């Protein structure tokens, strides 16, 4: 990242020196490198862009350097009259002047129409807003407008070679005309909107809340990459008898939220959210521990409940933050005992066992059939927040062995590879292994972009659909890590494998990770894989009874309907 940033900066410095000294060839090479480098950084290396801005080399400064270098090259190679020199300086500068004023006016227009809230499945009625410029004009207004001066680089080279400033003047005039059009559109839009007051959006949202009077709120303040945590609670919340609403805080997460019939409100700014009157909400459900939860936790008349996004033996399932809530809801006795062992300050009296209402659609049967071959789901977790933990996920140390072993199995098995949504987001090694795994499945004739579970081909599932629970219903054997995937899959009572990349002894592993009590364990060399597949495929499975017992421990009594339990506890809070 630092090297790419340094090379980009070097190309601009070379442009500047070459322009001042009139070295046309070097200027052309450096200019081409700078243009390609800017495109590459924006397209493939956003961290490099961030690094450059952190050290004060914002892209507008780099554009200004580029324009100055082009002007210097022309003055060094072309004999100019006084008038020509004036135009040489004025035309590029005009683009910058227009961009500054257009950017300021665009900001003022945005303030007339603040995007204070976004809604879904809600009719706010007619809303009067200040006029806005066309989307394309708004997108380029401001510091993007000097990008048009990019034309000056080849024009300066042409002018220097021909010893004639005409190519430069033509390119500069085109840039000025284009920015003038955008600037005029922005200015006229601003003039049309004079006297328009603030957006009525938030008051309209408040009027809707006052009318609808929601009793339950599913609150999610996490980023878009974590929106799967809220998605898993949409269906159970939809099924409640009480009026419910989804409250969100991130625009990006709002756009990524799965389809739902629930009304959804997104209010990004903390001050705006805290100004909403939410007195009718009796129960607020939190799917994730994030700092912005405080803006909802301050509601005194609401019972605040942490429902999480899946029970697992990972440390994240017993976060000390959980003690800020009135209650913590877990699936079964395993969750209660997990908090007791952790000693993080959550009182046993504040823990409620409700089962997992999301698992109602997971079949508690499944075997190889004539319609499809024996199917193995490999669903590794991600690398976690600790960079120095090589054993958090099996993907890095074992992923390729697992996948290649399954692809080589005879008779053939069907492989579904569904990694955690964040897999590879923090570890370059995990990302590289993920890419090699996908390539191996592609070479084996699999579908690397699966949107459906139909057919018999190997699949890579990385999008929101098919959902994890839909994959469960196509699975005869799961291979995963210590994660909530294992706890949820136990609902099916089908065999599962938990990876043991740290090489713990079997007794120690099962003692430390109770969700593995009924699992087959897989060591780093994956030597047990072939035997596990053969045993489970033959139906001679010695872990069957252990899985039944574990299901009760993890998810609660089999005879208790988790959706009914969820509804009962919500009703209790709302009373």
**Three-state DSSP class for 185?**
helix
243 and 105 assigned to the same domain: no
Residue 114 is assigned to a structural domain of this protein: yes
Judge whether 554 and 490 are in contact, CB under 8 Å: yes
For 304-320, what is the mean pLDDT? 85
Q: Do 459 and 493 have their domain in common? A: yes
Indicate if 449 and 524 belong to the same structural domain.
Answer: yes
The answer to whether the Cα torsion of 308, 309, 310, 314 is positive or negative is: negative
Please compute, for residue 267, the number of CA atoms within 13 A of its CA located in the half-sphere on the CB side.
24
The domain of 153 spans 1-118+135-193
Q: How far is CA 150 from CA 38, 154, 173, 182, 475, in A?
A: 11, 8, 12, 17, 55
Position 368 scores a pLDDT of 46
| Whether residues 189 and 219 fall in one domain | no
How far apart are the C-alpha atoms of 446 and 457, rounded to whole Å?
5
Q: For residue 129, is it within any domain? A: no
In a domain, 198, yes or no: no
Domain count, the chain: 3
Question: Do 145 and 243 lie in a common domain?
Answer: no
pLDDT in tens, 327-374: 999 999 999 999 999 899 999 999 999 999 998 888 876 544 547 789
Among 133-147, 285-299, 380-394, 397-411, where is mean pLDDT lowest? 380-394
Short-list 385, 451, 445, CA closest to 418: 451
List for the chain the helix, strand, coil content (%; round to 5): 55, 10, 35
Interval 1-15 mean pLDDT: 86
Q: What is the mean pLDDT of residues 399-424?
A: 93
pLDDT tens digits for 24-51? 999 999 999 988 888 888 788 777 878 8
Q: How confident is the model at residue 198 (pLDDT cuts 50, 70, 90)?
A: low
Q: Which residues pair with 38 in a beta bridge?
A: none
Q: What is the CATH number of the domain that holds 350?
A: 3.40.50.2000
Least confidently predicted of 105-114, 177-186, 219-228, 415-424:
105-114
Say if CB 246 and CB 262 are below 8 A apart: yes
Residue 157 pLDDT level (bands cut at 50, 70, 90): very high
Residue 573 included in any domain: no
Q: What percent of the chain has pLDDT over 70?
A: 96
DSSP code string of 359-402:
GGGS-S-----SSS--EEEEE-----S-TT-TTS-SHHHHHHHH
Q: 44 and 189: one domain?
A: yes
Task: Tokens 């990302």: give the residue.
Answer: 431
Coil, strand or helix at 573? helix
Q: What is the pTM of this model?
A: 0.71
Q: How many CB atoms lie within 10 A of CB 153?
A: 24
Q: Do 13 and 143 belong to one domain? A: yes
pLDDT score for 386: 56
Q: Are residues 246 and 154 in the same domain?
A: no
Please indicate, yes or no, if residue 241 is contained in any of the structural domains: yes
What is the pairing mode between strands 264-266 and 118-120?
A: antiparallel
Report how far residue 237's alpha carbon sits from residue 246's, in angstroms, rounded to the nearest whole number.
9
* pLDDT on residue 554: 92
Q: Which of 327, 355, 383 is the last residue of a domain?
A: 355
Instruction: Tell me the percentage of the chain whose pLDDT exceeds 90.
Output: 67
Report yes or no: 122 and 266 within 8 Å, Cβ to Cβ.
Answer: no
42 and 166 co-located in one domain: yes
Q: Are residues 220 and 299 in the same domain?
A: yes
**How far apart, in Å, are the Cα atoms of 171 and each of 80, 153, 179, 312?**
17, 9, 12, 62
pLDDT, tens digit (0-9, with 9 covering 90-100), for 57-88: 887 888 899 999 999 999 999 999 999 999 99
Dihedral of alpha carbons 544, 545, 550, 556, sign: positive
> 389's torsion region: left (phi>0), alpha (psi -120 to 50) or beta?
beta
With respect to residue 6, please indicate whether it lies within any of the assigned structural domains: yes
pLDDT tens digit string along 493-545?
999 999 999 899 999 999 999 999 999 999 999 999 999 999 999 877 899 99
Beta strand 303-306 with 283-286 is parallel
- Cα separation, 359 vs 96, in Å, equals 58
Same domain (yes/no): 257, 340? yes
- Pair (4, 149) in one structural domain: yes
């Amino acid at each position: 990242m630092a090297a790419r940033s340094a090379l980009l900066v070097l190309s601009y410095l070379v442009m500047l020196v070459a322009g001042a000294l009139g070295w046309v060839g070097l200027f052309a090479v450096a200019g081409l490198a700078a243009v390609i480098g800017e495109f590459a950084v924006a397209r493939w290396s956003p961290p490099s862009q961030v690094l450059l801005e952190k050290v004060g080399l914002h892209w507008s400064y780099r554009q200004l350097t580029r324009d100055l270098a082009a002007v210097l090259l022309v003055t060094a190679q072309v004999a100019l009259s006084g008038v020509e020199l004036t135009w040489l300086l004025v035309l590029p500068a005009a683009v910058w002047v227009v961009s500054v004023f257009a950017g300021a006016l665009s900001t003022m227009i945005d303030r007339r129409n603040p995007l204070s809230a976004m809604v879904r499945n809600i009719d706010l009625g007619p809303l009067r807003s200040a006029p806005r410029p066309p989307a394309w004009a708004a997108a380029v207004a401001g510091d993007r407008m000097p990008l048009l001066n990019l034309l000056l680089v080849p024009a300066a080279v042409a002018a220097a070679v021909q010893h004639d400033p005409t190519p430069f003047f033509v390119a500069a005039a085109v840039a000025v005309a284009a920015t003038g059009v955008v600037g005029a559109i922005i200015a006229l839009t601003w003039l049309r909107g004079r006297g328009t007051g603030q957006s009525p959006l938030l008051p309209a949202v408040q009027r809707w809340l006052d009318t609808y009077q929601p009793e339950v709120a599913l609150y999610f303040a996490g980023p878009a990459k974590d929106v799967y945590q809220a998605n898993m609670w949409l269906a159970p919340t939809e099924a409640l008898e009480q009026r419910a609403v989804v409250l969100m805080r991130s625009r990006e997460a709002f756009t990524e939220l799965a389809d739902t019939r629930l009304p959804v409100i997104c209010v990004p700014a903390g001050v705006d959210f805290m100004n909403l009157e939410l007195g009718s909400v009796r129960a607020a459900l939190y799917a994730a521990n994030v700092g912005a939860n405080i803006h909802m936790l301050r509601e005194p008349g609401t019972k605040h409940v942490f429902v999480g996004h899946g029970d697992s033996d990972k440390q994240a399932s017993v976060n000390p933050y959980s003690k800020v809530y009135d209650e913590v809801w877990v699936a079964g006795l395993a969750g209660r005992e997990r908090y007791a062992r952790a000693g993080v300050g959550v009182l046993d009296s504040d823990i409620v066992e409700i089962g997992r209402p999301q698992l109602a659609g997971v079949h508690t049967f499944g075997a190889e059939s004539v319609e499809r071959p024996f199917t193995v789901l490999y669903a590794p977790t991600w690398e976690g927040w600790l960079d120095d933990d090589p054993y958090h996920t099996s993907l890095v140390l074992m992923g390729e062995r697992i996948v290649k072993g399954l692809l080589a199995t005879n008779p053939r098995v069907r492989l579904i590879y569904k990694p955690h949504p964040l897999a590879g987001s923090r570890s370059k090694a995990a990302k590289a292994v993920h890419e090699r795994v996908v390539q191996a499945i592609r070479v084996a004739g699999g579908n690397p972009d699966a949107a459906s579970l139909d057919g018999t081909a190997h699949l890579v599932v990385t999008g929101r659909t098919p959902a994890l629970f839909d994959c469960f219903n196509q699975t005869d054997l799961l291979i995963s890590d210590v994660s909530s995937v294992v706890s949820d899959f136990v609902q099916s009572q089908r065999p599962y494998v938990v990876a043991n990349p740290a090489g713990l002894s079997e007794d120690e592993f099962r003692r430390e990770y109770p969700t593995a009590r009924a699992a087959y364990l897989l060591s780093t060399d994956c030597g047990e894989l072939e035997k596990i597949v053969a045993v489970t495929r033959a139906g001679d499975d010695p872990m069957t009874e252990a899985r039944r017992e574990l299901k009760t421990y993890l998810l609660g009594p089999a005879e208790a309907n988790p959706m009914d339990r969820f509804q009962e506890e919500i009703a209790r809070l709302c009373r």
